[in-house]
Amino acid sequence: MAPSPLPGRLTVITGPSGVGKGTLVARLQQRHPALWLSVSATTRAPRAGEIDGQHYVFLSRPEFERRVAEGRFLEWAAFAGHLYGTPRGPVEAHLAQGQPVLLEIELEGARQVRQTFPSAFQLLIKPPSFAELERRIRGRGTDAEEAIRRRLDRARVELEAEAEFDAVLVNADLEAAVVELERLVGLGPSPAGS
């Protein structure tokens, strides 16, 4: 059962690659412009078209490491030779203003947030079946077979962590999933009788 609507609540959204997290979050933001999606920090260089503070907060490695040492991240990790993390300050500032905040992060990050911000609501997005997830990943047509296998192996690990989450949302039908996500995040009506 989802908590009652609560402005200023932090919701952590996790799920395997290909499950549709980004699409669901984008639809939710369209419907609720006051919802704030946290912007991650990274030590990697900006790609063409990326804007500092909008796509990522771009930091030097020494600056990132200094902020880690100062406890200024809710979570952080190393990936592909770069550091990525969720800055604590902006999240806390938006929550203090009563804004609902979303973090769309990986399983390890969600586990760290459980330690650094235990009141966060943690939500796992699942595919209707593993076969459907594989179909979606292969349907992208962007990954080599080895990369697909790595994504699928990673997905198994993420889905096995289901019991760690406050709620689970199956993304089978996009419109139904958006409505359910709205409810779980505390932005939509609760079902009758709850």
Q: Check: CB of residue 72 under 8 Å from CB of residue 54.
A: no
Task: Give 133-175 pLDDT, tens digit per residue.
Answer: 999 988 887 778 898 899 899 999 999 999 999 999 999 999 9
Does residue 44 have a pLDDT over 80? yes
- This prediction has a pTM of 0.84
Q: Walk me through the domains of the chain, giving residue ranges and CATH numbers.
A: 10-185 (3.40.50.300)
Q: What is the mean pLDDT of residues 6-19?
A: 86
Instruction: Give the model's confidence band at 6: pLDDT under 50 very low, under 70 low, under 90 confident, else very high.
Output: very low
pLDDT recorded at residue 7: 55
What is the per-residue DSSP string for 28-82? HHHH-TT-EEPPPEESSPPPTT--BTTTBEE--HHHHHHHHHTT-EEEEEEETTE
Distance CA 130, CA 152 (A): 9
Q: Which two tokens stand for residue 54?
A: 């909008």
**CA–centroid distance for 152 within its chain:** 18
For position 140, what pLDDT does the model report? 80
Cα separation of the two ends of the chain:
8
Quick check: 5 pLDDT over 50?
no
What is the distance between the alpha carbons of residues 130 and 134, in angstroms, rounded to a whole number?
Answer: 6
Average pLDDT, the chain: 89
- Neighbouring C-beta atoms of residue 183, cutoff 10 Å: 18
List, in order, residues 6 or more apart from 26 with CB less than 8 Å away: none
| pLDDT in the model for residue 4 | 36
Q: In angstroms, how far apart are the furthest CA atoms of the chain?
A: 53
Q: Quote the CA–CA distance of 49 and 20 in Å, as a whole number.
A: 23
